[in-house]
Amino acid sequence: MRRVEPCAPVTQTFETFYERELTVQVRRAVLLVGSREAAEDLVHDAMIEVHRRWASLDHPAAFLDTVVVNRCRDHLRRRLVRVRAVARLRPPDPVDAVGDVLDDALARLPFNQRAAVVLRFYEQMTGPEIAQVLGCAEGSVGPWIDRALRTLREALR
Amino acid sequence: MTDLDAVLRDHLRRRVADVHPASRLDDVVGHGARPDRRRRSVALVAASLVVAGLGVVAVSGPDDAVAPRATVGPTMNDHWHLAYGLLLCGTWYELHGDGEASPSYGTTGVHSHDDGIIHWHPFTSESTGRRARLGLFFDTYGVDVTTERVMLPADQPAARDVDRAQQRCDGPVSVVVWPDVDDPSHAEVHTDDFRDIPITSDRMAIAIVRAPPGTPVPLPPSVDRLPRSG
């Protein structure tokens, strides 16, 4: 599932890069922010950022990874206040299926834990790769995943 | 691999298996902005025309952001002046000191003189052309501007007041940019990526605002102190 950066990026056009990355990035963003529409907009804006810097980027896929994750983080921060307000007004949704429980529990995880889980279990990234995308120390990734799995296990009981 | 690992992996894959986004390549390459954002930008300008001459705009919500403009930027021969102010929870603030003791000043030449005016006087290519971004001004003073909060370094006399004021009010941070103070009907509202806001011309005005969406934002008071030419 993990894609590989081309060996000779100078021969890669932005158009082929865009087509190769689009679906992967949007799917990842959907898992991070929970909304398909928001995910498409966030990835689109990140692609604009990549396109602007295209000539100076040695590793555009790595740059795009970071920009998309950072934009997802910012998006969730901005949404947080609104979501909290709605949560106070609305009774909890009845959940019975495992998938619903997992979605709900994933959405409640702190962003770094959620992102680490998505990158590990959906993207099958290694610890160092996750640390690079999230811009954190490698030693942080394992504990985040452990804590996230503990939370998810409790939610599934 | 534990059962939960397998359940998670399977769930995450199924969750996005039917996500097949349509390409917007032409939009990215040709225009650099989402079509819906361009419409909002036009709407924002039209709304501003209603108050033409006053230089007052309303702070938008995050969804009303405009894409950054294409930038030309200053050259090494330029010395531009930009009016700025921090409108935080209803009160205007300006930064103290000229910023010339900052490590970044030596290469960027970006400074002020306690007058609410940014002096954009590039010493090197670090602050020319497309590299001329608002973040360089933040670096001169050590100011941290996120989408949620404006933080001044402890050596700024207004640091505690700014901190206290923001504890008492809600609303996201926005940055309002008037590309030309002589045309106050045209303003852009940025709701994120503040460091990347391009510096494109002499006599711009910039308001760093924390206020609820819809709050009217006038030009910063320091526009009256702007010199006529750079």
CA distance A13 to A21: 12
Element (DSSP H or E) covering residue B189:
strand B188-190
Q: Check: CB of residue A103 under 8 Å from CB of residue B15.
A: yes
Pick out chain A residues at pLDDT < 50: 1-2, 4, 6-9, 81-93, 95-96
Asked if B4's CB is within 8 angstroms of A43's CB, the reply is no
Q: Which residues have CB under 8 Å from B210's CB, separation 6+? A: B87, B88, B89, B149, B150, B166, B169, B171, B172, B173, B174
CA distance A125 to A1: 9
For chain A, which residues lie within 8 Å of any Cβ of chain B, measuring from their own Cβ?
A: 14-15, 18-19, 22-23, 26-27, 30-31, 36, 39-41, 43-45, 47-48, 51-52, 74, 77-78, 81, 98-99, 102-103, 117-118, 121-122, 149, 152-153, 156
Place of tokens 């990026």: A9
- Residue B81's pLDDT is 94
Nearest to A78 among B5, B27, B147 (CB): B147
The answer to whether B23 contacts chain A (CB < 8 Å) is: yes
The answer to whether B52 contacts chain A (CB < 8 Å) is: no
Q: Please say whether the dihedral angle defined by the alpha carbons of residues A102, A107, A113 and A116, taken in this order, is positive or negative.
A: positive
Asked if B32's CB is within 8 angstroms of A52's CB, the reply is yes
Nearest to B28 among A18, A26, A153 (CB): A18
Q: Check: CB of residue B227 under 8 Å from CB of residue B79.
A: no
- What pTM does this model have? 0.47
Pick out chain B residues at pLDDT < 50: 32-54, 62-71, 230
CA distance A104 to B96: 47
- Residue A79's pLDDT is 62
Asked if B20's CB is within 8 angstroms of A23's CB, the reply is yes
Q: ipTM higher than 0.85? A: no
- Residue A28's pLDDT is 93
Asked if B16's CB is within 8 angstroms of A48's CB, the reply is no
Asked if B15's CB is within 8 angstroms of A30's CB, the reply is yes
